[in-house]
Amino acid sequence: MDKTAAGAGAGFVSGLVIGLISMALFITSICELCLINIGGGVFMRQMLTQVSLPVWQALGWLVHLIVSMVLGIILAYILSATGKDWALLKGAIWGAVIWLITIGGVSPLGGYITVPPRPEDIYLLFAYHVLFGLLAAWLLVRFGSISETNKL
């Protein structure tokens, strides 16, 4: 399987898992921020709420999964360039970098997260992103065609 297809598949599966976890924690009021609602809010310039129309929720899922696939492809090329040694660590670092760029920069600057979030919600968002990186890296090493040794 080529790197692009493997990365897209790993990103899709990882994004689906993380999206479902995020949605479940949002519905049960454990976390006030939901990755799907943030993704759907890209076009409205605000995060979606629980009473948002289903079409906006579907758009949120679409945005979330497409972004997840792109990030999975980037991770596949990172692992292809560096080898699969320490792949889970590289995936976790990649997830932390994604969190820093998106939640730490793009979302607040774009106005998608307008209300100052609770600290525990920020920690959960960080955990989602790190888990995404871990799961995507594991899937790429397990099912992708990443070389055996470290190249750098």
Q: What are 38-50's pLDDT values in tens digits?
A: 776 666 656 656 5
The pLDDT score that the predictor gives to residue 69 is: 97
User: Could you tell me if residue 116 is inside a domain?
Assistant: yes
Domain span at 119: 3-143
The pLDDT score that the predictor gives to residue 85 is: 87
Question: Cα separations (Å) of 123 from 31, 120, 128?
Answer: 10, 5, 9
- Tally of CA atoms within 13 A in the half-sphere of 110 that contains its CB: 18
Contact 142, 17 (CB under 8 A): no
User: Could you tell me if residue 152 is inside a domain?
Assistant: no
User: Could you tell me if residue 57 is inside a domain?
Assistant: yes
User: Could you tell me if residue 137 is inside a domain?
Assistant: yes
Is the pLDDT at 12 greater than 70? The verdict is yes
The pLDDT score that the predictor gives to residue 89 is: 95
Question: Cα separations (Å) of 113 from 53, 68, 74, 146?
Answer: 19, 19, 25, 36
Report pTM.
0.86
Say how far apart CA 22 and CA 5 lie, in whole Å.
25
Instruction: State the pLDDT confidence band at 87, using cuts at 50, 70 and 90.
Output: very high
The pLDDT score that the predictor gives to residue 34 is: 76
CA 148 to chain centre: 26
User: Could you tell me if residue 138 is inside a domain?
Assistant: yes
Is the pLDDT at 145 greater than 90? The verdict is no
Q: Which of 72, 87, 90 is nearest to 142 (CA)?
A: 87
Q: Which of 8, 19, 34, 25 is nearest to 112 (CA)?
A: 34
Greater pLDDT, 89 or 103: 89
Number of separate domains in the chain: 1
Neighbours of 51 (CB within 10 A): 5
User: Could you tell me if residue 148 is inside a domain?
Assistant: no
Average pLDDT, the chain: 84
Write out the two tokens for 132.
């995404």
Neighbours of 104 (CB within 10 A): 15
Is the pLDDT at 136 greater than 70? The verdict is yes
Is the pLDDT at 78 greater than 80? The verdict is yes
User: Could you tell me if residue 108 is inside a domain?
Assistant: yes
The pLDDT score that the predictor gives to residue 110 is: 64
Is the pLDDT at 92 greater than 90? The verdict is yes
User: Could you tell me if residue 118 is inside a domain?
Assistant: yes
Mean pLDDT of 65-80: 94
